Structure 1
Amino acid sequence: MDASDIEKDLSKIHYTEDQILAKLRELAGRIERDYEGKDLLMVGVLRGAVMVMADLARSFGRHVEMDWMAISSYGSGTKSSGVVRIQKDLDTDITNRHVLIVEDIIDTGLTLSWLVSNLESRKPASLELCTAFVKPDAAKMAVPVKYVGLELPDEFVVGYGLDYAEKYRNLRCVATLAPHVYS
């Protein structure tokens, strides 16, 4: 879906698909160099990371394994509920594995902090984080993210996997959702 298809729902486009893909290719290059000679398991956080994980993985010139977790703290609202629950756990044992958590966005850091703690308890060889987008002004908890993509303002954004009530994920850009949509 292009922004022109739903322009009345959007108040500002922050990044185009081309800008996002360029950043993901850059991140993939860094990750590939850092994990040279090591097997890498990428763990995508459903559902938002689907687009990011697919494009990131396709940017590699090597094999990577993928697994998925679904955790939730949002529901259909625009703010985090603060309560995290696992909806789908990993199928892969991550003990002694090099794990890279792939997220669509980090805003408050609360959900990701919980996830990091949960996965660290499973004794991986290494655990790093990669996010396509970050909202630095929304942070409530510092989370050490090694691979950071693009910065966004502390606004409600959609597209490229980011949703509002399960809509807008397939928008090819990232844009601020107009307040009339969710008020």
Structure 2
Amino acid sequence: MRPRRFGDARGWFMETYSEASALAMGIDVRFVQDNQSFSAAEGTVRGLHFQRPPHAQAKLVRCVRGSIMDYAVDLRRGSQTYGQYVSAKLTAEGGEQLFVPVGFAHGFVTLEANVEIAYKVSDIYAPECDGGILWNDPTIGIEWPLPTLGAILSDKDKALPTLAVFDSPFDYDGKSLVPLVAPGPGDF
């Protein structure tokens, strides 16, 4: 998704979220919290994260400084696309956004230094529901665009389980994994 920007000589204005526009796109989610993260180095990987029920979260992610490659991995039991992912390059300059539904793990890698991400979530942070899948799980097969020095990860992210040993708490909701396409003018 790319919210439309209205610009003039002073700069630009952008509506980053509209409930009516989201509903028109089939996104029926109530957001309850906004989060922001900063990553100092290029090649910082955060993810692949999710929250289990009863505090599972949908996310609407955007990059407010710099650029990232963003990923959402399907973790819904019974889904034909279980373990598959979609990705999108999100840039502050372009204003792109990625919606990550409940039942998907989320992760990103910074494509430059000094990157800030802002995202809305549909439920509170609940540490007891925190979970994740190993970022470089070969079963998923994400080809992360990493700098020569490799990935920068937290100790927590290095120790996450693989998909093979993961017991998913998410059920398939009948909605297909939608590949990301280039948005047109006036898209949300």
- The answer to whether the superposition gives a TM-score over 0.5 is no
Q: Which of 1 and 2 has higher RCO (CA within 8 Å, sep 6+)?
A: 2
The TM-score, its normalising length taken from structure 1, stands at: 0.28
Per residue, is there more helix in 1 or in 2? 1
Per residue, is there more strand in 1 or in 2? 2
The TM-score, its normalising length taken from structure 2, stands at: 0.28
